[in-house]
Amino acid sequence: MLNFNNICANQLIEAEAQSWDHILSYLRPSCIKCAIQLGIPDILHKNVNPIMSLSDLIAALPNLNPSKTTFIPILMRVLVDFGLFKYHQQQGDGYSLTSVGRLLVENDLSGKRSFFLFAQHPVVLNTASSVGDWLRDDLPTAFETAHGKSHWDYCGEEPEFNGVFNDAMAGDSRLISNLLITDCCAGVFEGLTSLVDIGGGTGAVAMAIAEAFPRLKCIVLDLPHVIGDRKGSGNLEFVAGSMFDKIPHANAILLKWILHNWDDEDCVKLLKKCKESIPSKKNGGKVIIIDIVMEDYCSNEHLVQSQHLMDLLMRITYASKERTEKEWEKLFLDAGFSGYKIITSLGLRSLIEIYP
């Protein structure tokens, strides 16, 4: 009986610990955002020595009110708990960047800094806090419940938010760009002479591909308010337009994190448009998709949880979803494609080649 009570007590304590973690978790992104705003990851990254003392760190912080200096070790303590920094007690109470903290350095190739700032934008946070209200109304997304219009309409009408969103997409594209031109994926572009990056935003991916493959003509297709006055040069071109209206003809079409923004009907419609714009499989035509394949190809617990949360985000923001391999296959067949191949080397996402 005593052992049973001990087990119950231990379970209760563990449950309470988890509940406190959930209760206080709202502070985690706020502290990380604060670190970015203060420039702490950048200061540690630029420091000559790998370990920086607390006093030197405080002295390097710009515009810090002198009365707030005593808060910095408190902030750093929780950021160490979050895994952003490492604390070196025996080396002068110093701090160093971890691999996670390195991802928040400005202009880091991972793009996580800009994506994190986008995720903490009030427009995005208001959408998340409106899920309960959305479940009781008849609007298609929680974004519309919170803001009265779709995400895409909001981007078109609000330049500040549109800029933050595009920065996040461009930051993420820097990571994908580097992966695409490495050995694990570079073979995807072999034999191609032209490629259209649909929804390519500010052109980060297309620029990297164009530079790595000088004989490959790259076209970025996106909406007019995204393209702006960008003209391109050399083997890179920007074209303003809707992907549902007309897609320039090319050997291949690239859809990076596009299809998960749309429901099945729109995805099939877009894939059919893509099929019309590429040659036959025999003549090298294909569509290259970078998107999540839910769970099937992901053994990392953190990535699986991120996939689940990304699926939730797509549903409340765009009335769309992430897809399993079977769901992807159905889209491809419904759009008239003959086959596909999945390359699982992009972490959270996979690269899928589909053939007409």
* Number of CB atoms found within 10 A of residue 298's CB: 20
User: What average pLDDT score do residues 192-201 get?
Assistant: 90
- What does the pLDDT read at residue 106? 86
pLDDT confidence tier of residue 1, bands split at 50, 70 and 90: very low
Q: With beta carbons less than 8 A apart as the criterion, state whether 102 and 45 touch.
A: yes
Tell me the torsion sign for CA atoms 207, 209, 212, 218: negative
pLDDT band of residue 184 (cuts 50, 70, 90) is low
- Average pLDDT for 158-187: 77
73-87, 158-172, 267-281: lowest mean pLDDT where?
A: 158-172
Kindly report the pTM of this predicted structure. Answer: 0.80
Amino acid at 113: R
Q: Is the pLDDT of residue 145 over 50?
A: yes
The answer to whether residue 253 scores a pLDDT higher than 90 is: yes
Q: CB within 8 A of 238, min separation 6: which ones? A: 203, 219, 220, 222, 227, 230, 231, 232
Secondary structure E strands in 135-223 = 194-198, 217-222
Asked whether residue 32 carries a pLDDT value surpassing 90, the answer given is yes
* Residue 276 CB neighbour total at 10 angstroms: 12
Q: Are 232 and 238 in contact (CB under 8 A)?
A: yes
Question: What does the pLDDT read at residue 183?
Answer: 57
DSSP, res 323: B
Q: 355 and 338 in contact (C-beta within 8 Å)?
A: yes
Catalogue the active-site residues: 260
Residue 271: CB partners within 8 Å, gap ≥ 6?
Answer: 259, 287, 331, 332, 335, 337, 354
Per-residue pLDDT tens digits for 146-156: 999 999 899 98
What average pLDDT does this structure show over 313-340? 93
Mean pLDDT across the chain: 87
Other C-beta atoms closer than 10 Å to the C-beta of 249 total 14
Q: What is the pLDDT of residues 212-228, one digit of tens each?
A: 888 999 999 998 878 88
Q: Percent of the chain having pLDDT more than 70?
A: 94
Beta-sheet pairing, 85-88 with 94-97: antiparallel
- Amino acid residing at 294: M
Dump pLDDT digits (tens) for 284-308. 899 999 998 986 556 677 788 888 9
Tally of CA atoms within 13 A in the half-sphere of 347 that contains its CB = 11
